[in-house]
Amino acid sequence: MDPLSPVASCLAVLSAIVATLRLYSTIHDAPEDALGVCKEVEDLQNVFSQSKEALYRRLSVGGLTQRGETAFHMTTVSIYEALTKLDRILRDSIVNETGNDGKKKVSRLAWLRNSAKIKKLCLRLRNLKADLIIVTTSQLV
């Protein structure tokens, strides 16, 4: 893999994180557990920013091992896919109505219907966050 591949993965994941957080900021009166989802994505953003900096430092002094690059790429692709699924579920849960503050409303029924999927994706993101920490702090990278 070329050195730009990990950087491109970083940019894709960061844009997915920003898009998900931006979507949350437009929701009026979101269910209580939505705040937990938002917190999980914010935590992922913090860990990812630190991992990105570690990656850039490593790239500046000689690059990555093949195993490290592969592990980093697989982790970032998995994070991106989980965030994309979460974003899709969130968009499915938003109704066209807006509250008094102009923010979009959440369909409680759609949220309940998707609640198990959302919790599963949050757990997946938490595990991937741990994987990301391991990959970027190991000797492989």
Of residues 103 and 52, more confidence is placed in: 52
pLDDT at site 7: 61
pLDDT at site 62: 74
pLDDT at site 141: 47
106: which 2 tokens?
């959440």
Q: Which of 19, 23, 22, 137 is nearest to 80 (CA)?
A: 19
What length does the chain have? 141
Pure H helices in the chain: 4-25, 32-60, 66-93, 108-137
Residue-wise pLDDT for 15-45, tens only, equals: 777 777 777 777 766 677 777 787 888 888 8
pLDDT at site 1: 47
Residue 80 to residue 113: CA distance in whole angstroms? 23
Given a cut of 80, is residue 64 above it in pLDDT?
A: no
What are the sequence ranges of the domains in the chain? 4-137
Q: Are 106 and 26 in contact (CB under 8 A)?
A: no
Percent of the chain topping pLDDT 90: 6
